Structure 1
Amino acid sequence: MSGEPETAFSTVLGSCIAACVRDKITGVGGMNHFLLGVQSDSSKDKYGESARYGAYAMEELINKVLTQGSGQRTELEIKVFGGGNINQKMDDVGAKNAAFVRGFLAAEGYKAEAEDLGGTYARRVVFQPVPGRVFVKHLDSSVNDGLIKEEISKANKPVETHDDIELF
């Protein structure tokens, strides 16, 4: 979260989703990055509520922007990215993540002002919250193998907590 003019957030996405949320009045904004929309039945209660899941990550980010911004839901600008099918041999987790984020926004009464979801490539996303600019670069398939291994590793790793910081 930041409202500083020089701040930029950056992430690389495969099948994961990142949402960039900002308050258009104050310029306060942030970015999340989640692995899965919701916990699967097999992982229920194993890790608890975690930022690795979209429902939690979206609620947390939106609430923090509202709290630190103007507090007006109508002034939120939301842009979403990712959900690539970077390994055609696996179940299309990216499509499920994209459907989740679209459904979540609709259920909460929001509409993404911009999105770049799906495809068969990874993305690098850079978000500058104060001006609301997002830069997206589609990455070639050579990046995909490393991202697949990283996403699987993070999804299977137990959550460590340190006070109010969650490491996964």
Structure 2
Amino acid sequence: MVSAKSLPPEFDRGVVTTVHQGDCYVSDDRDLTYSTVLGSCISACVRDRVANVGGMNHFLLAEQSGSARDRYGASARYGAFAMEQLINKVLTGGTGKKANLEIKVFGGGKINASLDDVGAKNIEFVREFLTAEGYALASEDLGGTFARRVLFKPHSGRAFVKRLESSENASIARRELVVARRGPAPKPAADDIELF
């Protein structure tokens, strides 16, 4: 858990909404921060710079189907859906102009040897998806052998990334392995809103 003392001033107060696997949230609330923890997963943070509307998604591409008609496989279609959903929600809530979007992506770590480097496939997918759609990345923190906690302020577009200790990597890796083998894991029962 990131302590309030270690955060930049713009992250040290307000309401935090946790973004779990499969979630996609968009807001223009000045005091809202989205938070997620990523291992092999990817989170995109998309913001309309003019309207100050932004959002975050969180997806895991667990396996490729090898289908000849879909070069990314069934799981990448899920990633494509997550990206399209987030971009469309930000466009709808904002100015509707693609040129006003600022995109940041995070995650894709190799934290579980059992998952055949899903993180690298996720990184390749998100980069190819954005290039094919004509978007440039404003910033990224991808790859490595560690998990991350990502905080994102949708109103200002500010992002904060903390690399997590290796003890936390094991817990995240176990959860991702469950998802990869059985499909989406149920969301935690705990509240998804935290106060700093």
Q: Distance in 1 between matches of 2:35 and 2:124?
A: 23
Alignment of 1:25 with 2:55, yes or no, is: no
Local SS of the residue matching 2:170? helix
2:121 to 96, 100, 112: 96
TM-score (norm. length: structure 2): 0.72
TM-score (norm. length: structure 1): 0.84
Alignment match, 1:3: 28
Amino acid at match of 1:8: T
User: Cα distance, 1:88 vs. partner?
Assistant: 3.6
Q: Distance in 1 between matches of 2:77 and 2:28?
A: 24
| Long gaps (5+) in structure 2 | 1-25, 68-73, 187-196
1:51/1:57 contact within 8 Å kept = no
Local SS of the residue matching 2:47? strand
Q: Distance in 2 between matches of 1:88 and 1:50?
A: 19
Task: Output the aligned Cα RMSD.
Answer: 2.4
1:41 to 65, 68, 82: 65
User: Cα distance, 1:40 vs. partner?
Assistant: 2.7
Alignment match, 1:79: 104
Q: What is the percent sequence identity of the aligned residues?
A: 60
Alignment match, 1:157: 183
1:85/1:120 contact within 8 Å kept = yes
After superposition, what is the alpha-carbon deviation per residue over 1:20-40, rounded to whole angstroms, capped at 9, x for unaligned?
A: 001000111110000018x63
1:23/1:65 contact within 8 Å kept = yes
1:50/1:56 contact within 8 Å kept = no
